Amino acid sequence: MIRSSYAETPSKDTGRGYQFGTFKGVFTPSILTIFGVVMYLRFGWVLGNVGLTKTLLIVTMASSITFLTGLSLSALATNMKVGAGGAYYIISRSLGLEPGAAVGLPLFFAQALGISFYVSGFAESIHETYPMYDEQLVAIVTLFVLAVVAYISADLALKSQLLIMAVVFASLVSFFAGSSARVPELAAGAAKPATESFWYVFAVFFPAVTGIEAGIAMSGDLKNPARSLPLGTISAVLTGYVVYMIVPFFLSFVVADSDVLLTYPLIMHYVARWPSLILYGVWAASLSSAMGLILGAPRTMQALARDRVLPSVLGRGFGKGKDPRIATVASCLVALGGVLLGGLNVIAPVLSMFFLTSYGLLNVSAGIESLIGTPSWRPKFRVHWAISLTGAFFCFAAMFMINAGATFIAMFCAVGVYYMMKRRSLTARWGDVRYGILMHMVRFATTKLADKKPDERTWQPNILVLSGPPTTRWHLIQIADAIAQGRSLLTVATVVPSSSMSAERTENITASIHQYLKKNAIPALVKVYPAEDPLTGASDLVKAYGLGPVVPNTILIGHTERPENFAHYARLIQQIHDTRRNLVIVRESDESPVFEEGARIDVWWRGKRQNVGLMLALAFLLNRDPEWAGSRLVLKTIVSSEEERDETMKQSESFIQNQRLNAETEVIVRRSGDAFETIRAASQGAGLVFLGMRAPEPDESAEEYGRYCQELMGHTENLPPTVMVMAAEDVEFDRIFE
């Protein structure tokens, strides 16, 4: 049995309240929001600004965006158990808690401002009919009355919408039965009203087709969301589109003067056969739309609070239906601020940006889910990923066309919320699609890398650190992280006795190490490998660890001082050399590596060009790390006589200059003893020393391996912290510095 990726731990406060069906719970609030104040108070204004052809284009574009979003929503809703919170719930359970919050908070404010929009529309129609009433005062009183109704019961509010829909239907009959007989004419010499641009008109009109938000917001109170949301949403969108395509045709036929359309917001009132029905219709539609959002906005806030995005007190439910009364009060306070902000033309573009953002992310969610095609993606209503991503493109393109500056501000706010949630490190109780997205990217990138040949000019260290438990040899992980700097792959590995290990214990140790690294801000993978002994396990890891072409190219290990381990240790070095991996051995001293500004990094050039190329690459990367920033990089060479010194100095300085390295050069004449005595004397006081090394000869005896290791450790004795480097034979590291 395949476990759904949306499985969620139940909470004591997530039970369903009301059990509404498709018509009452989705179609009715959606269609009444569509047939709202824009249809009654701004359709004539739209037609007067851009003409019939462009009006039909605006209606088609806006409805297409909503229709495509409705399809995506239907796919998402039939693939999961939809809870309270509408679009926020769906996005958070698909893209994750942080992206869900990033769109959930703007969506809540959009819904709350939508209340202001429809209440202001109602007040405007009252003021147009009865000029003695103050428009803003009417809006505030109306908001208060609707808030009281929603506070008492959502069921009472939805029952009233059935009556409202009958009034809206009657008003449309009255409009289409009307004529031009009562249409007023402009006074002679009157100033012509100013016209607006196409995209501004689109922004004002777009809230007319955002009714599906009202249906989505009631998702937690539906009897069967998987059936009701697709059927109710798509039916409402198609019904609204048909009516919205007929209205401008009829208006343009009855009212030919565009100036009249721009001057009289209630032009439908003058055209209608029974004008009073238009007034009743606009009042009913605006009030019902406001009511739909008064029901939806608090439920979005309630869902955000239950997920701990907002304070939990805001999510408290009351009564049989778990009505969000505290969230209702908070939503109405935000709406009151919107009422004080201004009229319809001020609020509408802001609403459009918020709604387009949420619609775009809904489409992205459905498109990614379909594109990845995980086994958990089994919607009853299937939509091709290209359709959903096309819908997302249209949403974001429309946002840029409406107002590019506002789009960037909206994106900045969404990103800000996302990172704020990241910093809070909230743990979601559900899975999301991000793991699938990353796996899809890994599969694509790994497959493509298999067809590419590595090039030294683009080389990066992919480091496998054989550190054991992090607390025992933390300096190895520090050095590796300073080299990788979050730009290269880093794996921290530990070999544990296989006799005492089980799969569960291996997972627990892995999780513990991962948490320890995360706490210390080390971005690394973790590998726990059971084996009979550490050296055998290390050898097996080097040979087997990796995925396709993504295998560690650099192995970083610590030194050993146990003579009984010398032969096995030398054999491990030989095996690493045979697998064509770079080897980095970090030898501790009495002092830890000096991580401070001004510390000196000595790189000893002793002949083998590949080794010095790798040493310089590693030292250069280390020098870029913030903790090593400002350290001095010194390239040191030993010569036998003073005659050689000047020539070698010139060559070294020329090399550094040509390679654009911020480094110094030093040439030392060996006076007596072996070279390592000279190195010890010259590197005293260094923070870190890089030395090249050779591999042991293949197929040597245990005694010879032991002598090799003893010699290796003897050469580096009494040095500051030392990094011994052996470059892979098949990589021309000197090309990195061409």
CA distance 691 to 678: 13
Q: Which residues of 469-497 are buried (b: 16+ CB within 10 A; e: fewer)?
A: ebeebeebbbbbbbbbeeebbbbbbbbbe
Give pLDDT tens digits for 543-601.
888 877 788 889 999 888 788 888 888 888 888 888 888 999 998 865 555 455 667 88
CA distance 268 to 40: 7
Fill in the amino acid letter for 79.
N
- Which pLDDT belongs to residue 177? 93
Sequence-separated (6 or more) residues with CB below 8 Å from residue 661: 616, 620, 633, 635, 737
110 neighbors 351 (Cβ within 8 angstroms): yes
Q: What's the whole-number mean pLDDT along residues 159-186?
A: 85
Phi, psi torsion values for 596, nearest 5 degrees: -155, 160
Q: Is 738 buried (19+), middle (13-18) or exposed (0-12) by CB count in 10 A?
A: exposed
CA distance 54 to 61: 10
Which SS3 state, helix, strand or coil, does residue 689 take? strand
Q: Name the residue ranges covered by the structural domains of the chain.
A: 22-184+195-425, 459-737
Tell me the average pLDDT of the chain.
Answer: 81
Question: How many Å separate Cα 65 from the centre of its chain?
Answer: 22
CA distance 645 to 634: 16
Q: Which of the four CATH numbers 1.20.1540.10, 1.10.540.10, 1.20.1740.10, 3.30.70.2190 does domain 22-184+195-425 have? A: 1.20.1740.10
733 neighbors 614 (Cβ within 8 angstroms): yes
CA distance 463 to 493: 10
461 neighbors 618 (Cβ within 8 angstroms): yes
- Which pLDDT belongs to residue 673? 67
CA distance 691 to 23: 78
Question: How many Å separate Cα 74 from the centre of its chain?
Answer: 23
The angle at the Cα of 115, spanning 127 to 15, to the nearest 5 degrees, equals 150
Q: How confident is the model at residue 10 (pLDDT cuts 50, 70, 90)?
A: very low
> Fold match between 22-184+195-425 and 459-737?
no
Say which CATH topology domain 459-737 has: Rossmann fold (3.40.50)
Which of 202-211, 218-227, 374-383, 620-629 has the weakest average pLDDT?
218-227
Which SS3 state, helix, strand or coil, does residue 674 take? coil
Q: What's the whole-number mean pLDDT along residues 300-323?
A: 81
The percentage of residues in the chain with a pLDDT greater than 90, rounded to a whole number, is 13
- The CB density around residue 646, as the number of other CB atoms within 10 Å, is 11
Residue 658 has pLDDT above 90, yes or no: no
Cα dihedral sign for 612, 616, 619, 621? negative
CA distance 690 to 646: 23
Residue 262 has pLDDT above 80, yes or no: yes
Per the listing, tokens 């999510």 go with 315
- Which pLDDT belongs to residue 308? 81
Closest to 182 (Cα-Cα) out of 73, 291, 276, 67: 276
Give pLDDT tens digits for 600-610.
889 888 766 67
